[in-house]
Structure 1
């Protein structure tokens, strides 16, 4: 995990994931990389170690659904931490916050808000799917 954390900080990546002997780096914003991996390469997430800049409830749900083994993040929301811990995923972080804020720092992260009242990773997945689809249509 130490190597992943160093890569995350030094490389300016959004996420660094290790599975077996393979380490991959990611740069898309938000949960897009985790979503794409879960949909197209779910085996890569199974048992993986992840270093991520920020983990909100939506990102945590993708990690739970992917079967990730352990995560490190600079900042995690309380609901995300709870979701990961309930799934038995080892978590280390620098800061726990009430919720993740949006990029403009003017309110809640849209996915954090959208998943606020949902309890399980399975409930949250369709919300993420719709959000990603809308983002890509409008890009």
Structure 2
């Protein structure tokens, strides 16, 4: 759990949106918002985060499916959706969070996040990755 604590500490201390740790070393950070911090590196290399630990500000269903897709083994989120928790439980991914919410809202908090809507009926990590990739490319 030391790696997860390191990722959490870095997330808070340096105000990142995403921190990935491997073998006790911070190997990736981002200040990008939304799904981009996970998705952009995955578009370059599917295995880039394999067996690593993630701390993120917000993890909903879409991010959870990408975590499974990428092979990340432990996750922390400041805010995590109920759907994300279910995905982690089903796939035996250790998770921790501060606040649980029913779903992730869009940036102006008026509706469900568009990426969450996109994966609403998707349960396959591969299908989620492909749908999100298509969405981001458009």
TM-score under structure 2 length normalisation? 0.90
**How far apart, CA to CA, are the structure 2 residues paired with 1:17 and 1:101?**
24
Deviation of the 1:131 alpha carbon = 1.7
Query: Are 1:101 and 1:107, in contact at CA under 8 Å, matched by a contact in 2?
Result: yes
Match of 1:43, SS state, is coil
1:4 to 2, 7, 12: 7
Say if 2:20 is the partner of 1:17.
yes
* CA RMSD between the two structures: 1.3
Unaligned runs of 5+ in 2: none
**Which residue of 1 is the match for residue 81 of structure 2?**
77
**Mapping for residues 79-94 of structure 1, pairs under 5 Å:** 79-94=83-98
Match of 2:48, SS state, is helix
Query: Are 1:102 and 1:108, in contact at CA under 8 Å, matched by a contact in 2?
Result: yes
Deviation of the 1:21 alpha carbon = 4.2
**Which residue of 2 is the match for residue 95 of structure 1?**
99
2:120 to 116, 120, 138: 116
Deviates more, 1:97-106 or 1:124-133: 124-133
Deviation of the 1:9 alpha carbon = 1.1
Unaligned runs of 5+ in 1: 135-139
1:100-121 CA distance string (max 9 Å, x none)? 0011011110011111112221
